[in-house]
Structure formats: C-alpha cells, structure tokens
Amino acid sequence: MQPRTLPRGRAAVLRAVTGCRGRREEQALHCVVCKLGLASDVVLATALLVRYGKRGLLGPAQRLFDEMPRRDAVAFNAMLAALGASGRAADARRLFDRMPERDRTPASWNTLLTCYCRAGDLASARTVFEASLRAATSSVVSWNAMVDGYCKAGRMDAARELFDRMGSSLRDVITYNTMMAGYLRRGDPAAAIAMFRRLAREEEQTLRPTAVTIATVVTACTQVGDFAFGRAVHLSTRQLLGTSTDAVLSNALMDMYFKCGSVDRALEVFSTMPGAPNLFCWNTVIAGLGRNGRGEDAVRAFRDMVQTSKKINAVKPDSVTFVALLSACSHSGLVREGRELFAEMLPAHGVAPGAEHYGCMVDLLCRAGLLGEAVQLVRTMPVRPNAKVLGCLLLHARSSGDGVTASEWAARRIVELDVRDGAAYGLSNLYASLQRWDHVERRRSAAVASGKEPGRTSYDAQIPHVR
C-alpha cells in the first residue's frame, strides 16, 4: 500500500534513514515513520531493517520484517543479511528456503553465501556458490563474495585459485580490492602491492582503481615501509581516480605520513580532506602527533575534536581516542594534562577508563618518576590490573631507589595473574631476565602441569628494554 500523501516527505525520510548513523537517530526516525503512517511502506521498513541489522539488533529487524504487509525480494535479502550479521546462518538458510522467487534473485544466494562465510562455515558457503553457478544465478558478486570468504578465513591459496579461475573477463576492481585486503590481513603487504601493480598493468584498459584500492595499497606501503611508492601513489591519485579523495583514503594517507615522520604532509591531508573528519581521522591525527613527539598538538587536536563535534556532527571520542591521547601525553611528559584528561574521561566524555587507559597512566607516571602515585593508581583501579600494567610498574620500580616495596607488591600481583594469559606468561620471561628464578620456576611448572603453556608472545619483544 503506497501512501497517498507526503510523497516528498517520504523521500526525505528515506534519505534520512539511509544517511543516518547512531542508534538514537534510527529509533527517532522509526518513530517518525510510524507517526506519519508510513510503517507499512515496504521500502522504508526495509531501510530501517537494514540499519537495525547492521547494528546487530535482530529483534527490531525481525519485527519490521514480520509486520510488512507484503515482502519483496529486497526485503528478504535485507533480512537474510541481518541474520548473517548476527551469525545466524542456520536461520538465514531457513528463511532462504522459504523465499518464493529465490531462483530469480541472485542477491539472495550471495547473501546466504556471505552468511555462511561469516559463521566460518566455508564448506556450506562453497556449496551455495557451486549451486548458484549451476542455477545460473551467479555473477561477479558471487565470485567476489566467495573470494572474500576465503580471504577472511586466511585461506589465500583458495582465494587465489578462484581469482585465477575468474579470468580477466570476469574480474572487476572489487575482486582486486578483496585480494589486496586479504594479503594485508594475512600480514603480506608485499603481495598486496604486487596485486595493485598487476591491476595497473594488466587491466589498464578495462578497470579503474577506486578510493578503496588506493587506501588499501597505501596501507600496504605503510606496513612494508615503502614510503616512496606510497607517496607516488598519493601524487597520482587524482589521475588514477578521476575524482578527489574520500575519508578512508585520507585516513590511510595520514597514517602513512605520520608513520614516516612527515607530520606536515599528514596535517595537509587532514586539512584538505573532503567533509568533516570522522572518528577514525581524529584518532589517527591524535595518535600520529603523539608518536611524533607532538603531545601538546595532540591535546590541542583533541580539544578541536570535542569543540567542532559540538557544532556540526557528533563525533564523540571513544576508547581508542583516549589511548592515543594518553600515550601522546606519556611520550611527551605531559603529566598534568594527562592526569586532567584521564580524570575527565567518564564525567565529560562518557568513556569508562579500561585496563589499557590505566596502562597509559601508569606508563605516564612511571616515566615522570612518580612511582608512588603509579602504585596508588593501580591499587585503587576498579579494573583488574593486567600484565602490561604490572610489568610497567615492575620495570620502573627496579630502577628507582624507593622501588623495593613497589616491586614486591607488583611481583605478588603478577603471580596472581592467570597463567593462560599470554602476556602474563610473557611476564615470567621478564622475571627470567631479572633473575627471579624462584618465581619463574613456580609459574612455569604450573603452566606446564595444566597443559596450558602458551607460546612466546609479543610481550617478549619488550624485554630488551629492561636494563
């Protein structure tokens, strides 16, 4: 049933639903839709369903779907995707089997395929893929979805096999983007760059890179440290893309420039990026300034973020923002600022300090020689101190004159840590370097006896800092 009135209003509501972010906006728009008597509009209901589904709110999504007076293939697909996003592949399968026109809707097959991939059931995904090939409901999207499934499962060999089977006539730029992202995720940025070069070389006439392609290859350059090639890609972006950059690409470029020490170029990207910076961009800037020893500027950027957010669009600092910010204070020795920002986290910004934030503060206080205050903070913290926090304390306690009691205290807390925690196990290696053999023996035999001895961890890499 199409509404007789408000056709323009309907279009405006639809645009608002597809463009909104944040759950409060969604709920408000849902109310507006109901109040305007548009709840039975399949298109609007589907748009709302998609929002809820992406947020993992399966209940409201299911209710919208159930209350639709009639359901088209798009509504079914949206519901399938919502189930998939919540890991409910079996429920998606049952809904798919109930679909009246599924043989003529390729998107449904692709959605089901993706549901299985997300649930980690690659075998079922492959079965759906092969069936869609036989049923002639497949398209390049089906191939890309299957390739992505293998990539996300870390099976790059299987992904590569499909990539080769596709041939240049079937592959599109998303196939390339998917493979590049897969290699990056597996920790092989060189292979991602090789893919990019192949795209540029072989598919020059037919395929154009997208902003995603450029963002991915720039990230790969950052990871291998090939800043020359990353810079070259940046300079030819306009020519490659034909359009200007987007927020994601700007973010990748800023990250690269910060990590190679080109603070000015990073800030230039920031100030010329299209639209208002989102949370990711602010976090990158704050972290980037911090890692380049520009703590004061990082704090200033944070203040800017909070100020501008009040006016235009609500970008609220999150947990990552404060890790970046407090680390920046720590690296630049900004004790007073760090303390103030830490104190205002929950009351002013609604972000509850977690173990990682306490870790930053302990680091900050220890570096400034305020060992007593650091111990006091760990003693009173509402979160269970983790191996990083205690390790930091122990590290600094040893080198300070009044650190004996702090050292003993931290040592006792460390012994209480869960041996199954990789970082906690790593701490026993730290003990080894400190000649605390008695503790090492006790902890190791406990770990081996319980059959839960983990492998070496990244924490080991921190040991050379101990002197």
Partner DNA sequence: CCTCACACGC
Query: What residue ranges bind DNA (CB under 7 A)?
Result: 14, 18, 42-43, 46-47, 50, 72-75, 77-78, 81, 105-108, 110-111, 114, 140-141, 144-145, 148, 172-174, 177-178, 181, 184-185, 210-213, 215-216, 219, 246-249, 251-252, 255, 278-281, 283-284, 287, 290-291, 319-321, 323-324, 327, 356, 359
Q: Residue 40 or 415: which CB sits closer to DNA?
A: 40
Q: What is the distance between the alpha carbons of residues 128 and 132, in angstroms, rounded to a whole number?
A: 6
Q: Residue 247 or 276: which CB sits closer to DNA?
A: 247
Minimum distance between the CB of residue 428 and DNA, rounded to whole angstroms? 20
- 291 SS3 class: helix
Minimum distance between the CB of residue 237 and DNA, rounded to whole angstroms? 13
Minimum distance between the CB of residue 114 and DNA, rounded to whole angstroms? 4
- Give the angle 125-126-131 at the CA atoms, nearest 5°: 100
Q: What is the distance between the alpha carbons of residues 416 and 306, in angstroms, rounded to a whole number?
A: 40
Burial class (CB in 10 A: 0-12, 13-18, 19+), 239: exposed
Q: Residue 15 or 452: which CB sits closer to DNA?
A: 15
Minimum distance between the CB of residue 141 and DNA, rounded to whole angstroms? 4
Minimum distance between the CB of residue 306 and DNA, rounded to whole angstroms? 15
Q: Which residue has the tokens 């990244």?
A: 458
What string of DSSP letters covers 379-444?
HH-SSPP-HHHHHHHHHHHHHSTT-HHHHHHHHHHHHTS-TTSHHHHHHHHHHHHTT-HHHHHHHH
* Cβ pair 192, 209 in contact under 8 A: no
Minimum distance between the CB of residue 111 and DNA, rounded to whole angstroms? 4
Q: How far from each other are the two terminal CA atoms of the chain, in whole angstroms?
A: 75
Q: What is the distance between the alpha carbons of residues 398 and 391, in angstroms, rounded to a whole number?
A: 11
Q: Residue 371 or 423: which CB sits closer to DNA?
A: 423
Q: What is the distance between the alpha carbons of residues 270 and 285, in angstroms, rounded to a whole number?
A: 8
Minimum distance between the CB of residue 458 and DNA, rounded to whole angstroms? 9
Q: Residue 124 or 178: which CB sits closer to DNA?
A: 178
Q: What is the distance between the alpha carbons of residues 240 and 303, in angstroms, rounded to a whole number?
A: 36
Q: Residue 394 or 440: which CB sits closer to DNA?
A: 394
Minimum distance between the CB of residue 246 and DNA, rounded to whole angstroms? 7
Q: Residue 47 or 440: which CB sits closer to DNA?
A: 47
Task: Tell me the two tokens of residue 381.
Answer: 């913290």
Helix axes 371-380, 387-399, angle to 10 degrees: 160
Task: Tell me the two tokens of residue 60.
Answer: 């409201």
Q: Residue 46 or 332: which CB sits closer to DNA?
A: 46
Q: What is the distance between the alpha carbons of residues 67 and 412, in angstroms, rounded to a whole number?
A: 59
Q: Residue 309 or 319: which CB sits closer to DNA?
A: 319
DSSP 8-state code for residue 460: G
Minimum distance between the CB of residue 238 and DNA, rounded to whole angstroms? 17
* Cβ pair 300, 267 in contact under 8 A: no
Q: What is the distance between the alpha carbons of residues 117 and 225, in angstroms, rounded to a whole number?
A: 32
Q: Which residue has the tokens 């900050």?
A: 364
Q: What is the distance between the alpha carbons of residues 159 and 165, in angstroms, rounded to a whole number?
A: 10
Q: Residue 363 or 439: which CB sits closer to DNA?
A: 363
Minimum distance between the CB of residue 258 and DNA, rounded to whole angstroms? 8
Q: Residue 90 or 449: which CB sits closer to DNA?
A: 90
Minimum distance between the CB of residue 176 and DNA, rounded to whole angstroms? 9
Q: Which residue has the tokens 């490659």?
A: 240
